[in-house]
Amino acid sequence: MTITPVTTNIVQVPHLGGIEASTYMPAPYDASKPTLVLCNSFGTGADLYRHQYQNAELKNLVNLLAIELLGHGQTRAKVENFTYWDSAVMNLQVLDKLEIKGKVFVLGTSQGGWQTVRMALLAPEKVSDLCHESSRSKQLIVKSSRLRVSSLSGPRWTQKTNAQSNLAAGMQSKTSPGRLMAGQVTKAHQTSNPRKNSAIS
């Protein structure tokens, strides 16, 4: 099966002396809806979430924004060395540059999950909720709790099961993996207490 790559757009942000951040939104930004930021796994790009881009139910609920992490896709930096923290800062600057307002949910697959935690630690007032598939991300959440970083007003931390993660990532499913994700976003969006069902204390 031939897969046509999505056409990404470059957003210039100042971190690391200037980064060309490669982004993709399947529909124009709607400020009346929350935004779901998609962070790709190692060796992939914005195409990883192509099933979600096609899911009408999900797109009716949220704005979808994929940001290709440093070292991936068409994202380019002027430096040779960078960290996951740099990708997190870049992602936050992209949100500012695109003037993304309101609630922001962040979903990461594998290493993308590492970025979601870092984004929340850097900007807890901006990130409303996390959804990740990465054992290392879970370890970072626990560590953050011990350091009392989690006491900052901000995200409700969520950990999906492996089955849910595989569906949400849309890796191999020919059905509609975005349907599950849409349900999760709806539940999170409607939760009045941001720490209800928290994975950490």
Q: Residues for the chain: how many in total?
A: 201
* Rounded distance between C-alpha atoms, residue 200 and residue 152, angstroms: 13
Percent share of the chain, pLDDT over 70: 64
CB 178 within 8 A of CB 57: yes
The answer to whether position 3 is within a domain reads no
What is the per-residue pLDDT across 2-21, written as a single tens digit (0 to 9) for each?
A: 667 899 999 999 999 999 99
Cα 95 off chain centre by: 11
The structural domain count of the chain equals: 1
pTM over 0.85: no
What is the domain range of residue 78? 9-190
The better pLDDT of the pair 102, 97 is held by: 97
* DSSP-derived 3-state class of residue 75: coil
> Which amino acid, 6?
V
What is the per-residue pLDDT across 58-93, written as a single tens digit (0 to 9) for each?
A: 999 999 999 999 999 999 999 999 999 999 999 999
The answer to whether position 195 is within a domain reads no
The reported pLDDT for the residue numbered 11 is 98
Q: How many of the other CB atoms lie within 10 Å of CB of 200?
A: 15
The answer to whether position 199 is within a domain reads no
The answer to whether position 197 is within a domain reads no
What is the per-residue pLDDT across 123-138, written as a single tens digit (0 to 9) for each?
A: 999 999 888 665 554 5
